[in-house]
Amino acid sequence: MKRILLWLVSLPLLVQAQTEDIKCYVTLEGGVQMVLQQPVADTSKANLDRVFKLKGYEIDGVVRPVIEVIECVPLAATFSLAAAKKQDDIQPR
């Protein structure tokens, strides 16, 4: 019984430890392109598309949903697209 209880208590810590901070260069509704950041456990292309398309970004009081995920990299990595690099350099987070 103690082992099961210990396992149940430690499970969230194990799951949380496997997440990675990812940044994606995305297109929002209206054509605005920007870099969004999110911790994710599954870094597959399909999951990143799903996770980031659930996000939005507020511009002038209107939340704009993500309509396209263009490129994703780990937080410390550099984008390969020139436009993504430029946006990452100028956009405060």
| Distance in angstroms (rounded) separating the CA atoms of residues 23 and 43 | 11
In a domain, 80, yes or no: yes
Specify whether the CB–CB gap between 48 and 40 falls below 8 A.
Answer: yes
What is the pTM assigned to this prediction?
Answer: 0.79
Q: What is the pLDDT of residues 52-63, one digit of tens each?
A: 999 989 999 999
Round to the nearest angstrom and report the end-to-end CA distance of the chain. Answer: 45
In a domain, 46, yes or no: yes
The tokens describing 77, both together, are 């990595």
What is the domain range of residue 25? Answer: 20-90
Q: What is the pLDDT of residues 33-84, one digit of tens each?
A: 999 999 999 999 999 999 999 998 999 999 999 999 999 999 999 999 999 9
In a domain, 4, yes or no: no
